């Protein structure tokens, strides 16, 4: 059964889209859902003053948003904390008639995004290990690959895989309790529970929720808060589940060793299972993803056009899919064929404009940083010598020598005062690797495409 909290979280997403950030933070975030009573959702307001503002200014928006998720709802009832008791006895009215289409990602009891399955996850070299490990986990949660740690840049399919695992488990082992949560949400809930003794044993509830799971997925763990209590709670949650052979899956935009600050004992735990990375997909995979998307959208788009799009956006699948969606929308709005070249060109305009830009050293550095999302310009021109930075730095130096006819001395100066022989050595090393290592040559190709805005 869907809980009132899950419903409310989805309603909040709707409200967020309709009010300003300030209004949302000031008036909406503190509201606490209690139950549904007489077709109204009952919300606690912290104080009389807040209640009057929310009632007067936001009740229509809240009501409207609620109806998106619960179409049969007739109203909203705002109460004060001291009135809560009256509603506790009637707490358990079942929540039905939920508009599941509008629920994006749910919590307990398996509300995963139906759009993200293994069936529509295209596998290429860039993600094959992560996909295989995810499938193994989905088939046998808690058995072999525990924990599973997936990392990779933005828009490369990590959250898709989490949802695919959730959907698979839900279908094949419906009794298992799976929960997808973001690191941020985990932390917020924890903070709320820690400070929330006002509303009865919230901490107990928090622990019960997380430690009774069969599969816990935490997305974007790089946002883990520094605070001792969060890391401590996560560590205990982890241990509790792990020693009961419950599955833990964690996603991040960087490998465990680069998550700062992360307590060493948590880092060791994350590294103790399977660590799988996802990198930017090669051209074939990108085209295959677009083909699959076009098929889903029932659009007959020429492969040449798909290739054109795949070439324009090499490092972020979300962005690439966005371009395709834009083309389809343009076509529908202007009543044109999706393969109309004028239409394609205008949809790709911002990507074409890049091309006219002059390539300079900043542009190259910028593209290298976009390609390796964990690396900053300061890293590239700085002194750090860890592998995660040396590789992008060498790549960057090589690309500068390829694109610009700058003297090696000047390049050395730009890259933190390095010697010109170091620059020469780096250039030759990468040039050699580009001949012998297909992975390196593919990376060079992709970054070059970004630099040229292809």
Residues that bind ligand ADP (CB under 6 A): 116, 120-122, 127, 152, 154-160, 289, 317-318, 321
Which of Mg ion, ligand ADP, none lies near 116, with the C-beta cut-off 5 to 8 A by kind?
ligand ADP
Nearest Cα to Cα of residue 109 among 183, 26, 50, 166 = 166
Question: Of 6, 126, 159, 394, which one interacts with Mg ion (CB under 5 A)?
Answer: 159
Closest residue to ligand ADP: CB criterion: 157
- The item of Mg ion, ligand ADP, none sharing an interface with residue 207, based on CB under 5 to 8 Å by kind, is none
* Contacted by 231, from ligand ADP, Mg ion, none: CB < 5 to 8 Å by type: none
Contacts of 56 (CB under 8 A, 6+ apart): none
Closer residue to ligand ADP (CB): 116 or 449: 116
Conformational region of residue 372, where left means phi above 0, alpha means psi within -120 to 50, and beta covers everything else: beta
Return the range that interacts with Mg ion (CB under 5 A); candidates 53-61, 154-162, 186-194, 239-247. 154-162
**Nearest residue (CB) to ligand ADP, 120 versus 212:** 120
CB of 122 to ligand ADP, least distance (A): 4
Left, alpha or beta for 152 (phi > 0: left; psi -120 to 50: alpha)?
A: left
141 makes contact, choosing from Mg ion, ligand ADP, none, with CB < 5 to 8 Å by partner type, with: none
What is the Cα–Cα distance from 23 to 20, expressed in whole angstroms? 5
Q: Which residue, 111 or 289, has its beta carbon nearer to ligand ADP?
A: 289
Q: Which is nearer to Mg ion, 10 or 159 (CB)?
A: 159
* 127 contact, one of ligand ADP, Mg ion, none, CB 5-8 Å limit per kind: ligand ADP
Sign of the alpha-carbon dihedral angle for 176, 181, 187, 193: negative
Nearest CA-CA partner of 438 in 287, 282, 276, 313: 282
Which one, 62 or 161, has the nearer CB to ligand ADP? Answer: 161
State how far the Cα of 49 lies from the Cα of 333, in Å rounded to an integer.
47
Considering beta carbons, is residue 36 or 287 the nearer one to ligand ADP?
287
Least distance CB 258 / ligand ADP (angstroms): 16
| Residue of 435, 247, 447 whose CA lies nearest to 365 | 447
The minimum distance between CB 270 and Mg ion, in angstroms, equals: 17
Burial class (CB in 10 A: 0-12, 13-18, 19+), 54: buried
In whole angstroms, the minimum distance from the beta carbon of 220 to Mg ion comes to 6
CB of 259 to ligand ADP, least distance (A): 16
| Cα separations in angstroms, 335 against 2, 326, 331, 338, 343 | 41, 14, 5, 9, 10
61 three-state secondary structure: helix
Distance CA 102, CA 136 (A): 30
Residue 443 within binding range of Mg ion, rule CB under 5 A: no
Nearer to Mg ion, 159 or 181 (CB): 159
Q: In what order do the strands lie in the sheet with 40-44?
A: 32-37, 40-44, 75-79
Q: State the binding partner of 160 from Mg ion, ligand ADP, none, CB within 5 to 8 A by kind.
A: ligand ADP
């Amino acid at each position: 059964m869907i809980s009132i909290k899950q419903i409310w979280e989805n309603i909040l997403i709707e409200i967020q889209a309709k009010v300003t950030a300030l209004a949302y933070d000031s008036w909406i975030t503190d509201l606490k859902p209690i139950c549904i009573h007489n077709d109204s959702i009952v919300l606690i307001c912290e104080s009389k003053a807040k209640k009057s503002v929310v009632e007067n200014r936001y009740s229509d928006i809240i009501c409207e948003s609620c109806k998106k998720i619960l179409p049969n709802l007739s109203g909203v009832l705002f109460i004060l904390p001291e009135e809560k008791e009256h509603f506790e006895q009637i707490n358990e009215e079942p929540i039905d008639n939920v508009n599941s289409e509008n629920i994006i990602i749910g919590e307990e009891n398996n509300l995963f995004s139906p759009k993200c399955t293994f069936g529509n996850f295209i596998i290429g070299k860039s993600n094959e290990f992560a996909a295989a490990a995810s499938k193994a986990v989905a088939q046998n949660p808690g058995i072999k690959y525990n924990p599973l740690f997936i990392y990779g840049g933005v828009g490369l399919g990590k959250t898709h895989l989490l949802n695919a695992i959730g959907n698979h488990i839900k279908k094949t082992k419906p009794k298992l309790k799976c929960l997808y949560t973001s690191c941020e949400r985990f932390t917020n809930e924890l903070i709320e529970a820690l400070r929330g003794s006002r509303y009865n044993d919230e901490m107990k509830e928090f622990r019960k929720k997380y430690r009774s799971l069969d599969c816990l997925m935490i997305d974007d763990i790089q946002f883990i808060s520094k605070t001792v209590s969060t890391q401590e709670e996560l560590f205990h949650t982890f241990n509790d589940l792990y020693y009961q052979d419950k599955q833990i899956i964690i996603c991040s935009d960087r490998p465990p060793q680069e998550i700062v600050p992360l307590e060493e004992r948590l880092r060791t735990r994350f590294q103790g299972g399977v660590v799988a990375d996802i990198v930017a997909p090669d051209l074939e995979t990108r085209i295959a993803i677009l083909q699959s998307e076009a098929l889903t959208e029932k659009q007959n788009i020429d492969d040449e056009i798909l290739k054109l799009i795949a070439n324009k956006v090499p490092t972020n699948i979300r962005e690439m899919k966005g371009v395709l969606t834009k083309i389809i929308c343009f076509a529908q709005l202007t009543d044109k064929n999706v393969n109309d070249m004028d239409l394609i060109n205008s949809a790709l305009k911002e990507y074409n404009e890049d091309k006219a830009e002059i390539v300079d050293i900043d542009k190259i550095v910028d593209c290298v940083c976009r390609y390796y999302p964990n690396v900053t310009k300061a890293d590239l021109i700085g002194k750090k010598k860890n592998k995660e930075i040396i590789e992008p730095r060498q790549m960057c130096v090589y690309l500068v020598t390829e694109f610009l006819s700058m003297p090696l001395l000047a390049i050395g100066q730009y890259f933190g005062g390095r010697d010109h022989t170091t620059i020469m050595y780096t250039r030759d090393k990468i040039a050699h690797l580009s001949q012998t290592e297909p992975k390196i040559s593919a990376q060079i190709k992709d970054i070059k495409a970004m630099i040229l805005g292809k």
